[in-house]
Amino acid sequence: MSTTVIWICGLILTVAACGTVYRIWRGPTLLDRVLASDVLVSIIVAVLCVNMVAKDSYELITLILLISMVGFIGSVTVALYANNAPSREKRLEPSRIQEVNRNDPQAAQRLAEAKRVAKARKRKKIKEGK
């Protein structure tokens, strides 16, 4: 395989992995992080495929099988566990809605209201702390 194609694939996959890691870091809820790490697993599988093509050695196929199995089990387990966990992210806290849905005409209004409430709560907390 020509090295140009391998380089192009490598660059594309690097950018994709950066975007996914950004979503894992930023993601407002737990499920966003789970989904993004699932996509990261599939990007790793893609990297293994490109590596096999580049090196002309095909022993990594079993690793692809294993990685996809592990990713499946992990994401299903976390989705099940998140169902019952009384975590901070269980209910949608208004301050954690960071993006506005454009289809919903009231979304911007609701977001502004949520931000105002969150700010007031923070101020109150600081006042109580002092």
Partner 1 sequence: MMDAFLNVLEAVCLVLGCLMSLGAAIGLIRFPDILSRLHAGTKPQVFGLMLLLLAVLIDTRSWAYLPVLVVSLLLQLLTIPISAHMVGRSGYRNKHFPAGDLKQDDLRTVIEEAEAEENATDPQGEDSQPESDVDSMRTS
- Structural tokens at position 99: 């993006």
117 binds partner 1 per the rule CB under 8 A: no
Residues 115, 126: Cα–Cα separation, whole Å = 16
Residue 114 CB, shortest distance to partner 1, in Å, is: 11
Distances (CA, A) of 51 to 9, 87, 102, 129: 10, 40, 41, 55
8 binds partner 1 per the rule CB under 8 A: yes
Residues 1, 58: Cα–Cα separation, whole Å = 14
For binding to partner 1 (CB under 8 A), which residues are involved? Answer: 1-2, 5-6, 8-9, 12-13, 15-20, 22-23, 29, 31-32, 34-36, 38-39, 42-43, 45-46, 49-50, 52-53, 56, 58, 61-62, 64-65, 68-69, 71-72, 75-76, 79-80, 82-83, 89-92, 97, 99-104, 106-107, 110
